[in-house]
Structure formats: C-alpha cells, structure tokens
C-alpha cells in the first residue's frame, strides 16, 4: 500500500509556567499574560506517496514540533494525525548512536531496533559502510567521530533500511558538499519508490534540490504550500522585508529630513536594486542599482548643488559627489536626478546615504537614510571594501628552458 499522511486540524500547545515568585512577574510576565505558547495552530495537511516535502520557516515557527508529532514523538493537543506506513525519523543526526560501540556494531544494533533480522542487516551492511565512507573509522568507537562523521553514519543507516516514511530534521547540514550530494541522490531514490520524505531545513538550496513540495510555517501556521521554487522565493522576500524593517528600526536616529531655509527641501530619496528594480534598503551586491533624488530649490540660484555622500558605518566616506542643481531641473521646476551604478560594487556593510542641498558652502536642506549591502558569494579570505571585477590573462612567452 502507498504511504500517506493526513493531518486534520492539528494543534500543539505548550503550557508556559513552572517559574516561581518574582521571576514570574518580571521577565516572564509577557509570555504568561498572553497565555500558553501555541507551537502549531490547526494545521491540516495531506502528504501523498512520492512527495518530498520541505518545511521552512524562522526559528520557533513550529517546524520541529510538527515533525515530532508526525514521527510520533509527541502527540497533538487537539486534532488527529493518520499515518499509513512506517515512520523512520532522524531528529538530530547521531543521537541514536551508541558511543562506545563501533560504527559497524551500531549498524547491527540499529537494524534490530528497526525489526530487521541479522541476516537482513548483513545483506545491506556493506552498502551502508560504503555509503558512509568512513574508512577505518567504521571499526572505531562512535565517540571518536566528528559530528559530520556521525551524521554520515546515521544517514547511511536509515536510508538503507528501506524506510517508508523518512523524516529528517536539519540533517543534511552536517557532512561536506560531496556527502550532501550523495544524500540528495539517495533521498530522491527513496521517493521514486513511492515513499514519503519530509525534511526541515534552513538551507533554501537544499530544499530546492531535494523537495518537490514546500511548506512555509510562521507562528505555528502554514503560510504557504506549493512548489519549492515559489515558496522559497516568497520566504526569502519576506525575510528580506523583515530584515529591512529591523534595519530601519535600529538606525531610526540616523534617518531624517531637514530643511534649514525656506524654498529648499529634499522631497524624496529612493534606492532601487535588482531587475526590474524594487525600492530597497537591503541591496544585493552586483545588481544594477539606481538612486533617485527629488528636491526643491529656488529657481535661478546658480550656485546651488545637490551633494550626495555614501559613508560606511565606520565613517569611511566612499562616495562624495556634488551635482549642479540647475542641470537637473524638471518641467515642474523641481529638481530630479538619478544616479545609476550598474552594477553595485559596494562590499557587504551598512551605509549611510546623505543628500544635501547646498548654496555655495551653506547647507540649506538635507536628508539621511540607511541601506545595507549583502553578497551571496563573497570572496574567500577577506571582506573587501568594493566587490569589483579584476581579470588576468596569461600569455605564454618563452619555453621553460629559457626561464631556467
């Protein structure tokens, strides 16, 4: 029979309490007054055979709680879970391993726990050992293993006992790149045989690589359920928006607009980043970036200028240019200019953007804002001020003999 998991209105509520006296009134007062912690709130879900479900979300979103309930490690406060198939779970890789036994002995012990006979284990043990690729360590006690090695052994064990429903919590983050690739292939093989795999991960790439369905959880609710591409993109966008809000909140003292003289005002400063170009405070390095400034200055003031400065948070002035305001006067008599950096070459850091309107040396109006630059693939070995391409072309000139 095909595997299938059905969740109906599943909730999990943890009572908050157990704190005593003064503590309850001071630090814990906030949580206690709002009642118990709702970890999973009325989640209904059907998982069919062949589905590789990835669950993503911030810490505390309820991902692990949901997984624990499906694995039968805890029961829901309300609602029902129906499972067709035998569940094998790896909540924390390596936890089930017995430290004083060797890797090989652990495989036998685990096989028996999974209800396999010694003969059945012996049929697959060589595959397991080969897959884990631990070399001579397979006969050493598990306590001598690194975290990554334990993870490899545990994954090899569970993935070779023909699981029907496999649940993995953050497992693939251990092990190196080569092993992760092998594990991904293995998970796909398991799914191809009509089984179910559920993983919880913080790595968006691994969810995209492994899964064919993705669930985004927030505060115990399912926010989105769909293809890994769509859900991970929506999730990353939401995280970025939340990070931007946090950035703005943290630096609110730096942000502001002032007019010191009548008839002068910085009306709007906006930064657009990426294709097609959304207004952003969190900018991706290497993307086309455009800065739009709208301002008002008295018409005919010939020595008025728009002064744009970008200062890294540790007070390193990186961009400092002054543009004559009259050259950027629009039909409606206001000033509008755009500065384009294609691509953005600033390195990862937080920056302050100051735009001031000046008459000669007098500042008549100014505006300050904050933005942050991040890079997906920063160079190894340092954090450069600028992410700027350098190319090198080697032209052979002589034979080696002449070098010597």
Partner 1 sequence: MSERQQDVALRCVHVEKSYPVQNELRVWRMLFGAEARGKMIHALRDISMSIPRGKIVGILGKNGAGKSTLLRVLGGVYQPTRGRVEAHGQIAGLFELGGMGNPHLTGREYATRYLRVMGAQQKDIPILLEDIQEFSELEEAFDHRVRTYSSGMGARLYFSTATALQNEIYLIDELLSVGDEHFQAKCWQRMRQRLLNGASGVLVTHDWTAVLKLCEQAHVIEQGRFVFSGPSDQVVVSYLKIRVPEATVARLSSCNLQSHVVHSGQDANILIWVDILEPAPVDLAISIETLRIGIGWEIVLLVNDIALAEQPGKYAVNVSISDLPLASGEYSLNLFLSRRKFAPQDATVIYDIRSWTIGNGYSLQVKGAVTSASAKLPYAVRRLGVEA
Fill in the DSSP letter of residue 326. Answer: G
Residues that bind partner 1 (CB under 8 A): 26-27, 176-178, 250-251, 292, 294, 309, 313-321, 323, 327-330, 336-342, 345-346, 349-350, 379-386, 388-400, 402-403
Distance (Å, whole) CA 63 – CA 198: 11
By the 8 A CB rule, do 203 and 177 touch? Answer: no
Alpha carbons within 13 angstroms on the beta-carbon side of residue 17 total 5
Beta carbon of residue 355, minimum distance to partner 1 (angstroms, whole number) = 13
Beta carbon of residue 12, minimum distance to partner 1 (angstroms, whole number) = 27
Beta carbon of residue 28, minimum distance to partner 1 (angstroms, whole number) = 10
Distance (Å, whole) CA 303 – CA 326: 9
Smaller CB distance to partner 1: residue 141 or 274?
Answer: 274
Beta carbon of residue 162, minimum distance to partner 1 (angstroms, whole number) = 30
Tell me phi and psi for residue 312, to 5 degrees.
Answer: -70, 155
- Give the residue ranges of DSSP H helices in 4-72: 21-25, 29-33, 63-70
Among 204, 202, 201, 169, which Cα is nearest to 87's? 169
By the 8 A CB rule, do 181 and 152 touch? Answer: no
Smaller CB distance to partner 1: residue 140 or 319?
Answer: 319
Beta carbon of residue 188, minimum distance to partner 1 (angstroms, whole number) = 21
Among 354, 107, 394, 370, which Cα is nearest to 244's? 370
Smaller CB distance to partner 1: residue 157 or 266?
Answer: 266
Q: Quote the strand ranges of 71-229, DSSP E.
A: 78-84, 87-90, 165-169, 196-200, 213-218, 221-226
Beta carbon of residue 400, minimum distance to partner 1 (angstroms, whole number) = 5
Among 70, 62, 14, which Cα is nearest to 220's? 62
Q: What angle do CA 308, 314, 316 make, to 5 degrees?
A: 45
Structure token digits, residue 166: 């496999």
Smaller CB distance to partner 1: residue 151 or 220?
Answer: 151
Smaller CB distance to partner 1: residue 257 or 345?
Answer: 345
Beta bridge partners of 352: 311, 370
Smaller CB distance to partner 1: residue 176 or 262?
Answer: 176
Smaller CB distance to partner 1: residue 221 or 309?
Answer: 309
Smaller CB distance to partner 1: residue 18 or 381?
Answer: 381
Beta carbon of residue 169, minimum distance to partner 1 (angstroms, whole number) = 24
Beta carbon of residue 404, minimum distance to partner 1 (angstroms, whole number) = 8
Measured between alpha carbons, how far apart are the two ends of the chain, in Å?
Answer: 74
């Amino acid at each position: 029979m095909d595997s299938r998991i059905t969740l109906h209105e599943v909730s999990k509520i943890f009572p908050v309490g157990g704190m005593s006296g003064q503590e309850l009134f001071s630090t814990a007062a906030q949580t206690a007054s709002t009642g118990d912690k709702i970890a999973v709130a009325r989640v209904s879900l059907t998982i069919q055979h062949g589905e590789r479900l990835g669950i993503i979300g911030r810490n505390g979103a309820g991902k692990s709680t949901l997984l624990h309930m499906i694995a039968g490690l805890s029961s829901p406060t309300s609602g029902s879970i129906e499972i067709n198939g035998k569940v094998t779970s790896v909540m924390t890789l390596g936890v089930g391993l017995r430290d004083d036994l060797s890797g090989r002995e652990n495989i036998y012990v685990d096989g028996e726990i999974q209800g396999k006979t010694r003969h059945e284990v012996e049929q697959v043990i060589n595959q397991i050992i080969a897959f884990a690729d631990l070399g001579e360590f397979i006969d050493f006690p598990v306590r001598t293993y690194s975290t990554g090695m334990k993870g490899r052994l545990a994954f090899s064990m569970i993935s070779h006992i023909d699981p029907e429903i496999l649940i993995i919590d953050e497992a693939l983050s251990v092990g190196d790149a080569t092993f992760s690739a092998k594990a991904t292939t293995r998970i796909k093989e398991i799914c191809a045989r009509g089984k179910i795999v559920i993983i919880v991960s913080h790595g968006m790439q691994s969810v995209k690589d492994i899964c064919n369905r993705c669930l985004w959880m927030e505060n115990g609710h399912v926010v989105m359920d769909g293809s890994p591409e769509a859900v991970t993109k929506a999730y990353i966008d939401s995280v970025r928006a939340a990070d931007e809000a946090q950035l703005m909140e943290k630096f609110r003292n730096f942000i502001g607009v002032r007019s010191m003289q009548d008839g002068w005002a910085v009306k709007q400063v906006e930064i657009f980043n990426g294709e097609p170009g959304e207004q952003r405070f969190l900018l991706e390095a290497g993307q086309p970036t455009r800065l739009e400034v709208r301002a008002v200055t008295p018409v005919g003031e010939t020595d008025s200028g728009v002064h744009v400065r970008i200062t890294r948070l540790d007070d390193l002035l990186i961009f400092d240019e002054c543009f004559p305001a009259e050259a950027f006067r629009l039909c409606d008599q206001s000033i509008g200019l755009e500065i384009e950096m294609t691509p953005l070459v600033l390195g990862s850091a937080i920056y302050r953007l100051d735009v001031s309107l000046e008459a000669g040396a007098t500042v008549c109006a100014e505006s300050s804002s904050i933005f942050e630059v991040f890079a997906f693939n920063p160079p190894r070995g340092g954090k450069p001020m600028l992410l700027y391409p350098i190319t090198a072309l080697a032209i052979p000139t002589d034979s080696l003999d002449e070098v010597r």
